[in-house]
Amino acid sequence: MVKVIFFDIDGILTDGSVYVDALGNETKRIQFDDIDAIFKLKRAGIKIGFITGEDNEFCKYVKKRFSPEYFLSGCKNKLIAFQKLAKENELEKSSVAYAGDSERDIELLKYVDCSFVPNDVDPEVKKAAKVVLKAARGQGVIKELTDFILEK
Ligand SMILES: [Mg+2]
């Protein structure tokens, strides 16, 4: 049973794009359905975590917006970062789910017992996941996996 779910940020919570205006200001995009889904998971008693290689203002926003139980930013190696956190917090990998979308997520997608990828990822990344979702990156990935987890 999944007790904690970890999300990559770029390509899972967002569509993996950076939106840039004429002044060079960068921003990202999140679907309301996914925001709602995160709070639905929380209400169901599932703990939330984010694991990202990035460490920027957007990460701070995500941390503030969702108050996740776990938040790892600036991760060079996500598997090692996860293993350290899991050990410190006594998380069993059998009760953890992870959703990621790129090559740097492959090791962690393989490691945990429950893992998800969006549909529009590289074949190598798809192979590493236990579940390939119908949703494309940033297009309701979290909503779809929330329905999957809560229906189980
Ligand atoms: Mg990503």
Q: What is the pLDDT of residue 152?
A: 73
- The tens digit of pLDDT for each residue in 49-80 reads 999 999 999 999 999 999 999 999 999 999 99
Average pLDDT over residues 120-148: 98
> Who contacts 44 (Cβ-Cβ below 8 Å, separation ≥6)?
150
Interval between CA 9 and ligand 1 midpoint (Å): 6
Q: How far is the CA of 24 from the centre of ligand 1 (A)?
A: 22
Q: How far is the CA of 121 from the centre of ligand 1 (A)?
A: 10
Question: Residue-wise over 97-124: b if at least 16 C-beta within 10 A, else e?
Answer: bbbbbbebbbbbbebbebbbbbebbeee
pLDDT at 50: 98
pLDDT digits (tens, 9 = 90+) for 73-119: 999 999 999 999 999 999 999 999 999 999 999 999 999 999 999 99
Q: How many domains, in total, are found in the chain? A: 1
* Distance of CA 94 from the midpoint of ligand 1 (Å): 22
Q: Which domain holds residue 84?
A: 4-151
Structure tokens at 53: 């290689």
CATH number for position 28: 3.40.50.1000
Taking 90 as the threshold, does the pLDDT of residue 9 lie above it? yes
- Compute, in angstroms, the gap from residue 51 CA to the centroid of ligand 1: 9
